[in-house]
Amino acid sequence: MVYELYVDSLFLVNAVMNLYLLILVNRSTLRTATRRGMVLGACAGAAVYLLPFLIELPAWLKWSLALVLGTGLMIGIPFRPKSIRAFLRILRQLFWYSFLMGGLLLFAGGTMPFLQRFLTEICGILGIGALGFLLAGYFQEAERKRQNDSTCKVTLIYGGIRVSVSALLDSGNSLREPVSGKPVSVIDAKIYRSLWKDEQRPYRAIPYHSVGTSRGILRGYLLPQMEVEVDGISKSFQDVYVAVCEEECRVGMILNPSVLEEAQQYSKKQETGKEHDTESGNAGQTAV
């Protein structure tokens, strides 16, 4: 029996399904991958999965090679894990979502015979894949909200000083810096003194409201860099606001969950603004 294989169609299906998987994994790993990295990783994995059809080797060897190399590229290109622990956590997430997608395809084909022909076409496979992607994203968001009140390791960096603290990722912390709208996390006064010593720094007034206190003001400071680590995966954030709590805290820091989602967006906006200012200055030769 002779089969016709359309390499372009197979590559397209694999690349899109890989991209679905990488987006889901990225959402569960502090969003450390960029869009470009995920697209490149998805395409690299899809290209490697074509090797068994193009090379002459024993079946078990070429499929094992494709699996190991393809999976390694899908993880290494977008996420660049810095430790074995981080790699294994990403690998676990990737396999979990892969089984979810594959199970959905088998379920749809087995329980709905009228879809079997549709599922052999590109549109059918990608359509069911998109449905699985949306369902997984829904449950992923529900799980994220459930786990918001958890602890993680945070390293605060100012100049050459690095202070590592145990932080509570608190869904109840919705503090914002009034001018920029950036999310604000809260640190203990001892942590503040460890970072800035006796240095007098300008601060922003951060209004807050809590149970038992009608209103209040916290001193907010712009921290140049902060690293957050969860399950061996770390991510660096630039120019984040921290407010100083003079009262004794049960943990060293109360991390605003919005920081993990919005800090990268603010950084991109600032870079875009700087590039725009530079171009304007070069064009108009404006002196300030």
Let me know if residue 111 belongs to a domain.
yes
- On whether both 135 and 241 belong to a single domain, the answer is no
Residue by residue, what is the 3-state secondary structure of the chain?
A: CCCCCCHHHHHHHHHHHHHHHHHHHHHCCCCCCCHHHHHHHHHHHHHHCCHHHHCCCCHHHHHHHHHHHHHHHHHHHHHCCCCHHHHHHHHHHHHHHHHHHHHHHHHHHHHCHHHCCHHHCHHHHHHHHHHHHHHHHHHHHHHHHHCCCEEEEEEEEECCEEEEEEEEECCCCCCECCCCCCEEEEEEHHHHHHHHCCCCCCCEEEEEEECCEEEEEEEEEEEEEEEEEECCEEEEEEEEEEEEECCCCCCCEEECHHHHHHHHHHHHHHHHHHHHHHHHHHHHCCCC
- pTM for this predicted structure: 0.65
pLDDT band of 120, cuts 50, 70, 90: low
Q: pLDDT of 127-147, one tens digit each?
A: 777 878 888 877 766 666 555
pLDDT at 142: 63
Let me know if residue 66 belongs to a domain.
yes
- On whether both 223 and 134 belong to a single domain, the answer is no
- On whether both 133 and 183 belong to a single domain, the answer is no
- On whether both 11 and 142 belong to a single domain, the answer is yes
- On whether both 156 and 120 belong to a single domain, the answer is no
Let me know if residue 280 belongs to a domain.
no
Average pLDDT of the chain is 78
* Residue 233 domain boundaries: 150-272
Let me know if residue 215 belongs to a domain.
yes
- On whether both 154 and 131 belong to a single domain, the answer is no
- On whether both 125 and 187 belong to a single domain, the answer is no
108 pLDDT exceeds 80? Answer: no
Q: pLDDT of 222-245, one tens digit each?
A: 999 999 887 777 888 999 999 998
Q: pLDDT of 41-93, one tens digit each?
A: 999 999 998 888 877 878 888 888 888 999 999 999 999 888 888 899 899 98
Let me know if residue 239 belongs to a domain.
yes
119 or 261, higher pLDDT? 261
Number of domains observed in the structure of the chain: 2
Average pLDDT over residues 275-285: 40
Kindly state the percentage of the chain with pLDDT values over 90.
20
